[in-house]
Structure 1
Amino acid sequence: MNVSVVLFTADLRLHDHPPLRAALDGSRQVVPLFVRDRAVDAAGFAVPNRLAFLADSLRDLDAGLRERGGRLVLRSGDLVDEVCRAAGEADADEVHLAADVSAHARRREERLRAALEAQGVRLHVHDAVTTAVGPGAVVPSSSDHFAVFTPYFRHWSQQRLRTPLRAPGPVRVPDGVGSQELPSRGDLSGLSPALAEGGETRGRRQFASWLRSGIAAYEDRHDDLAGDATSRLSPHLHFGTLSPVELVHRARRAGGPGAEAFVRQLAWRDFHRQVLAARPRAAHADYRTKHDRWRSERTAREDVEAWRAGRTGYPIVDAAMRQLRHEGWMHNRGRLLTASFLAKTLYVDWRIGARHFLDLLVDGDVADNQLNWQWMAGTGTDSRPNRVLNPVTQAKRYDPDGAYVRRWLPELRGVAAPAIHEPWKLPGPDRASLDYPDPIVELSAGLDRFRRAREAR
């Protein structure tokens, strides 16, 4: 036997793909396989925005393989059953895939290994494919993971990353391995109107442009809401159409404070993955509980609905929430502000906000999303759990001219800064002319409720 299966998961690319290169070693034939895992669908993670980006990425991956003489094999169902079936059809003796950190992925890997061994097939799992540094590569002497980012980053920065791999040459796929038709975003409904395009080709073009004209200013401008000066590469990292290892290498070659700040964000991504790998329950339970008695969706129904709709009466919060619905993406500063507002100003369970984000974010990722929400709710790795972001102060600092608010709140486009961030203070006739709600809560009242709740614990 001289056939391998490479199972693509969150690594939908040809450049810097260790499992694919290993599967092709020795001029082997290979089955490039992607399985639409029904367990992921059942868990509610197969939402329209991510399915559209996935469809783009699968089609781009298939096109790249066909340029090399191969093709992508698509199956749907139980992942373990489908991989074993494909290996049997191809008479393969080994399967290669990238390591993952979620509890579901790790259980799935154990099941897959046992099932493949039963039919005489070896499973090879590759680290540092979906991360720059694998979760187990950096650990403190006294624990199985770092709970604080700063010491983690210090050790992470000292790691020697592997050299990125070139895209492969010819890919030969054995005959007799059937495939389903590839999906298309045109078959989907309920998409955000301005959803980004997926695929490795688009991702590499976007990253090259970012290196030329964006990364140098990143340190100074990454919090500028109106300037939109972030890389917007998070969807490509989530689906693995770009390699984090390659991104770190190329950013370091570019050099400068902007590149260093960008690499630090990639390290945060790895940090969250090593936390989740060590504490899988953090995907749905407090990492460091404060024994909060959060308001539930039932008890805070009107507040939650206003937050989701971008009608809280706080323009910067509402602008960010409307960006999320329109683009399936939100500026990072907006994510912090909206999360702080829901969890601390409204004192609503962070899981309600995290679920809404996962329903819409094209980069919706269990590790980053859940742990960032906990960081803002004060139940995660944050060393200052009672920190509250004031939306008015933040708006005046990060959107001083009100350009971001005007972009997403057309009903406020005629209001000048700084009044645009506090429209409830406008003179009576001016205020009455706006189709915009009053604040659903006074900031002082929300802060007092949060502090009393934490102190009572």
Structure 2
Amino acid sequence: MTASTAIVLLTRDLRVHEHPALATTCAAFDRVVPLYVLDPALAALSANRTRFLHQALAELRAELRERGGDLVVRHGDPVAETIRLAGEVDATAVALSADVSHYARRRERRLRAECERHRLHLRLFPGLTVVEPGALRPGGGGDHYRVFSPYHRAWAASQWRAELAAPHRVELPGGVSVGNLPEPPVGDSPEAAVGGERVARQRLTDWLPDLDRYDDQHDDMAGDDTSRLSPYLRFGCVSPLAVANRAGDRSGPFVRQICWRDFYYQVTAAFPEISTSAYRRGATEQWRYDDDALAAWAEGRTGMPIVDAGMRQMRTQGWMHNRARLITAGYLTKHLGQDWRPGVAVFFRWLLDGDVANNSGNWQWVAGTGNDTKPYRGFNPVRQAERYDPDGDYVRRWVPELAKVRGKAVHQPWRLPDTLRQTLDYPPPLSVPGTDPVWLR
């Protein structure tokens, strides 16, 4: 009897534990080919994420080899390379974790058409979220939830799928060429986290004892007491279901953040233009376009310390504290009056966890074009800084020009005595024509 063979096309699910597509396929087929295709269309989006991706792929290859298999690596168009490999190994099926972005859905449609043409069975699996996008629908009609709170109630009360163990053995067909992984590039952020499943699982284990303090500490910008799991969730180095299950309380503040992630995935599934078009019906988009101000914001030299600190943290670590993300995005859109789309692009450029659903969804929430039920809210950066960085330690860490300024004065250096202010190598706040923000009065 001929051995059955299937391909598991990996995309943003770079792990062996709690991997529905991999586990189910290994249980159903004699030979399984885990495949990752390095797509040139995605290669230039972010040097930081490319570095993290290559580290995660090297770790995944090691995990698969421990189970008798390997990671097959190809370069080019994912659909063409999958079909080509299927012919080489006599595969009869392809497995894929379902995704929601415009690019991912186009890839899925093309793959489905090619699988039908070549008489291959294509099956999609969950795994990128806790609850599949579209599985929960509001009672009053509609294809998705537009407001978070009712979604969270439905999400917390829903039946979650069972976790799946890592396959004990992965067996490749004989003679398949596995291909070489490129060396990880240097990346642009010198303090960027290292990618990979083992790092992710250890980070989760190490952080869980701090879970009880999360509600009190997660907004402490200087304390930096957050899990930092977001890059690992973005690349699927750890399963969001496994994280939520280990954290426990579905209504707790940490699991609520995982629910926010699922929320934006179901929004993006219904509105794949989330990175380019306003989500909220009737949203007014009367933006200023000032390249110099945008560059100053992106480089962390706006003269607003809490904003500059956040942007410099992102450039150094490829990550930014969540509170700083709200403050910096609010400053660009609500104070500088700039279009949110260039902000999305800057974050995509640097963030290890940058993905379409959450990066774009959160930007639209802050800009007032998205899911926020109070779209005209703003973020006073000085008030935010004094509340979430009360001693100024976060600012002093990331804006060393202000290291000699003590206490809360670091948040408003323009109010310092002239004798001190003139010694600081730090710019005055950006001026915006026709505005008089309350924090500068």
Query: What TM-score do the two structures reach when normalised by structure 1?
Result: 0.92
Q: Secondary structure at the match of 2:303?
A: coil
The structure 2 residue matched to 1:248, chosen from 237, 244, 261, is 244
State the shift of 1:179 in Å.
Answer: 3.0
Alignment partners' CA distance in 2, 1:27 and 1:446: 67
Unaligned 5+ residue runs, structure 1? Answer: 449-457
Q: How does 1:97-112 map to 2 (within 5 A)?
A: 97-112=96-111
Aligned to 1:337: 327
1:140-186 CA-to-partner distances (Å, cap 9, x unmatched) read 1310110000001110111111121111111111123223311222x
Aligned to 2:271: 279
Q: Which amino acid aligns with 2:398?
A: W
- C-alpha RMSD of matched pairs (Å): 1.6
Aligned to 2:313: 323
Aligned to 2:14: 12
Aligned to 2:398: 408
Q: Secondary structure at the match of 1:312?
A: coil
2:56 counterpart of 1:57: yes
State the shift of 1:26 in Å.
Answer: 4.1
Aligned to 1:453: none
The structure 1 residue matched to 2:220, chosen from 218, 224, 227, is 224
Q: Percent identity?
A: 50
State the shift of 1:189 in Å.
Answer: 4.0
Which structure 1 residue ranges, 4+ long, deviate > 6 Å from structure 2? Answer: none
Aligned to 2:35: 33
The structure 1 residue matched to 2:361, chosen from 371, 374, 387, is 371
Q: Which amino acid aligns with 2:137?
A: V
Alignment partners' CA distance in 2, 1:315 and 1:443: 20
State the shift of 1:364 in Å.
Answer: 0.7
Contact 2:156 2:250 in 1 (8 A): no
- Evaluate the alpha carbon distance shift between residue 190 and residue 13 of structure 1 in structure 2; reply closer, same or farther with a 3 A threshold: closer
Aligned to 2:385: 395
Alignment partners' CA distance in 1, 2:205 and 2:287: 44
State the shift of 1:241 in Å.
Answer: 0.3
State the shift of 1:291 in Å.
Answer: 2.6
Q: Secondary structure at the match of 2:274?
A: helix
- Evaluate the alpha carbon distance shift between residue 27 and residue 304 of structure 1 in structure 2; reply closer, same or farther with a 3 A threshold: closer
Unaligned 5+ residue runs, structure 2? Answer: none
State the shift of 1:27 in Å.
Answer: 5.5
State the shift of 1:37 in Å.
Answer: 2.2
Aligned to 1:268: 260
Aligned to 1:237: 233
Alignment partners' CA distance in 2, 1:442 and 1:215: 42
Q: How does 1:68-107 map to 2 (within 5 A)?
A: 68-107=67-106
Contact 2:70 2:178 in 1 (8 A): no
Q: How does 1:413-432 map to 2 (within 5 A)?
A: 413-432=403-422
- Evaluate the alpha carbon distance shift between residue 275 and residue 308 of structure 1 in structure 2; reply closer, same or farther with a 3 A threshold: same
Q: Secondary structure at the match of 1:88?
A: helix
- Evaluate the alpha carbon distance shift between residue 446 and residue 77 of structure 1 in structure 2; reply closer, same or farther with a 3 A threshold: farther
- Evaluate the alpha carbon distance shift between residue 302 and residue 196 of structure 1 in structure 2; reply closer, same or farther with a 3 A threshold: same
Contact 1:346 1:446 in 2 (8 A): no
Q: How does 1:42-191 map to 2 (within 5 A)?
A: 45=45, 47-127=46-126, 129-141=127-139, 142-185=141-184, 188-191=185-188
Alignment partners' CA distance in 2, 1:114 and 1:292: 38
Q: Secondary structure at the match of 1:224?
A: coil
Aligned to 2:192: 195
State the shift of 1:327 in Å.
Answer: 0.4
Q: Secondary structure at the match of 1:95?
A: strand
Q: Secondary structure at the match of 2:56?
A: helix
Aligned length: 434
Contact 2:5 2:29 in 1 (8 A): no
Contact 1:73 1:179 in 2 (8 A): yes
Q: Which amino acid aligns with 1:347?
A: G
Aligned to 2:343: 353
Q: Secondary structure at the match of 1:50?
A: helix
Aligned to 2:284: 291
State the shift of 1:215 in Å.
Answer: 1.2
Q: Which amino acid aligns with 1:248?
A: A
Query: What TM-score do the two structures reach when normalised by structure 2?
Result: 0.96
Contact 2:188 2:315 in 1 (8 A): no
Q: Which amino acid aligns with 1:202?
A: V
Alignment partners' CA distance in 1, 2:306 and 2:5: 55
2:352 counterpart of 1:362: yes
Alignment partners' CA distance in 2, 1:27 and 1:343: 52
Aligned to 1:452: none
Q: Secondary structure at the match of 1:24?
A: helix
